[in-house]
């Protein structure tokens, strides 16, 4: 499936540059949401398929978060709904519903935008390579690449896997010597399913030496 990452990332960068928030990793999603005057509440959902619900109103908006989910998953869900709030003129958004019943373009933007917000490519790509080399040099299990990065960015390992797969072309450009600021973003995108366990991207990792 073809999507325009460059356009989305530019749009997101413009949005963030309009904020005076000082960005440090891991990024404070709750602070971004607070600055938008969005109320956040936590409660247990009957369905584990729903991570969060955004209700966007003319005067006040809110996000209801499934308190049954781990903190790292809630963090991505909040970022996902924040992208919906910023870019999509909708009144209600259910996170991670049946894709057949949703606008796939908007869902891609929300997932990819959340990934870029939490794991920006210009930070993730060098850090991914550095972490992969460190793990190999110290004879640690390859799965530690995902685990280490997940701990750093405070996300689930499946989000790290999604990021690596969606940035494969960009990672290979950087490995070939292209400066990170000159890396060309491609349009390829894989479908994100946070309910599937991450599969180590061995073919890419083997190219990192």
* 8 Å CB contact between 49 and 35: no
Domain total for the chain? 2
Same domain for 193 and 126? yes
pLDDT at 150: 97
As a whole number of angstroms, the distance between CA 72 and CA 154 comes to: 6
Same domain for 132 and 95? no
42-79 residue pLDDT tens: 999 998 888 999 998 888 999 999 999 999 999 999 99
Same domain for 145 and 58? no
Cα torsion 190, 193, 194, 199: sign: negative
* CATH code for the domain in which residue 89 is found: 1.10.10.2910
| DSSP codes of every residue in the chain | -B--HHHHHHHHHHHHHTS-PPP-SSP-HHHHHHHTTEEEEEE--S-TT--EEEEE-SS-EEEEEETTS-HHHHHHHHHHHHHHHHH---SEEETT--GGGS-HHHHHHHHHHHHHHHS-HHHHHHHHHHHHHHHHHTT--THHHHHHHHHHHTS-HHHHHHHHHHTHHHHHHHHTT--GGGPPP--B-PPP-TTSPP---HHHHTT--
pLDDT at 186: 86
Same domain for 201 and 128? yes
pLDDT at 102: 58
Same domain for 113 and 24? yes
Strand partners, 93: 54
| DSSP codes of every residue in 52-93 | EEEEE-SS-EEEEEETTS-HHHHHHHHHHHHHHHHH---SEE
Same domain for 167 and 104? no
Same domain for 150 and 79? no
> Which segments in the chain show pLDDT lower than 50?
1, 95-101
pLDDT at 172: 96
Same domain for 156 and 110? no
Please tell me whether the overall predicted TM-score, pTM, comes out greater than 0.75 for this model: yes
pLDDT at 23: 65
As a whole number of angstroms, the distance between CA 30 and CA 172 comes to: 33
Same domain for 131 and 89? no
As a whole number of angstroms, the distance between CA 6 and CA 187 comes to: 8
Same domain for 160 and 139? yes
Structure-token match 């209801």, residue found? 64
Burial call 39-69: b when 16+ CB within 10 Å, e when fewer? ebeeeebeeeebbbbbbbeeeebbbbbbebb
Looking at 101, 118, 135, which one is the last position of a domain? 118
Looking at 118, 141, 168, which one is the last position of a domain? 118
Same domain for 107 and 53? yes
Domain that holds residue 103: 5-118
Same domain for 100 and 23? yes
Looking at 69, 95, 118, which one is the last position of a domain? 118
């Amino acid at each position: 499936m073809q999507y325009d990452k460059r356009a989305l990332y530019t749009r997101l960068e413009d949005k963030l540059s309009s904020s005076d928030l000082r960005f440090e990793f891991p990024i404070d999603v709750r602070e971004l949401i607070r600055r938008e005057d969005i109320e956040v509440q936590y409660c247990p959902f009957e369905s584990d398929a729903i991570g969060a619900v955004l209700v966007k109103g003319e005067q006040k908006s809110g996000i209801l978060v499934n308190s049954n989910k781990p903190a790292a998953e809630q963090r991505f869900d909040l970022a996902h709904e924040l992208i919906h709030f910023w870019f999509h003129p909708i009144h209600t958004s259910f996170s991670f519903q049946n894709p057949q019943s949703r606008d796939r373009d908007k869902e891609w933007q929300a997932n990819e935008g959340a990934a870029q917000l939490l794991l920006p490519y210009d930070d993730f790509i060098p850090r991914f390579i550095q972490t992969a080399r460190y793990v190999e040099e110290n004879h640690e299990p390859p799965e530690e690449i995902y685990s280490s990065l997940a701990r750093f960015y405070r996300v689930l390992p499946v989000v790290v896997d999604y990021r690596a797969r969606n940035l494969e072309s960009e990672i290979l450009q950087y490995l070939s010597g292209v400066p990170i600021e000159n890396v060309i973003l491609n349009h390829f995108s894989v479908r994100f399913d946070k309910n599937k366990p991450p599969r180590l991207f061995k073919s890419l990792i083997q190219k990192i030496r």
